Homo-oligomer: A and B are copies of this chain.
């Protein structure tokens, strides 16, 4: 379990990555750090909006794109409706429940060549920058509901 980051730590992370620590950028980082449920743009925007009345959804898009480009967060395409974001850069796989839409972290399957996650490597002449493992099915909780 990763300890959650305080504001100062987030600012440091942004500065180290040549990102000016604006209030909007800090807020998005902070939200992602404290809500590791793979939120969408809308979830982030709706959550921050009440305390930041002038926040624009475009800004959320802009900030997320910037953070992805600096590899501070990961963009997930596991959901065919919308893109999701994950601040957890440790090696892990993702599972999406086809019934409730929830996305869970799962352990990476054991593998001989340690080539998962953000590490870059060559494969058949192609330059691989990211590896994502997506499991799709029915989650624990939905299984219980179905059996009742």
A residues contacting B by CB (< 8 A) are 75, 77-80, 83, 95, 97-98, 104, 106, 109-113, 115, 120, 123-140, 143
Cα of A136 to Cα of B75 in the assembled complex, Å: 11
13 A-B pairs besides A124-B140, A127-B138 with CB distance below 8 A are A77-B77, A77-B79, A77-B80, A98-B129, A106-B124, A110-B112, A126-B140, A127-B137, A128-B136, A130-B135, A131-B134, A131-B136, A132-B133
Residue from A83, A110, A136, A138 with most neighbouring chain B CB atoms (10 Å): A136
Chain B contacts for A126, CB-based, 8 A: 95, 97, 104, 106, 135, 137-140, 143
Number of identical monomers bound together in the oligomeric complex: 2
Whether B120 and A109, one on each chain, are in contact in the complex, defined by CB atoms closer than 8 angstroms, is no
Cα of A115 to Cα of B128 in the assembled complex, Å: 23
Cα of A120 to Cα of B129 in the assembled complex, Å: 29
Chain B contacts for A137, CB-based, 8 A: 120, 126-130
17 pairs from A and B in contact (CB 8 Å cutoff) = A77-B79, A77-B80, A95-B126, A95-B128, A97-B126, A109-B111, A110-B112, A125-B140, A126-B137, A126-B139, A126-B143, A127-B137, A130-B134, A130-B136, A130-B137, A132-B136, A134-B134
Cα of A120 to Cα of B138 in the assembled complex, Å: 11
Chain B contacts for A77, CB-based, 8 A: 77-80, 134
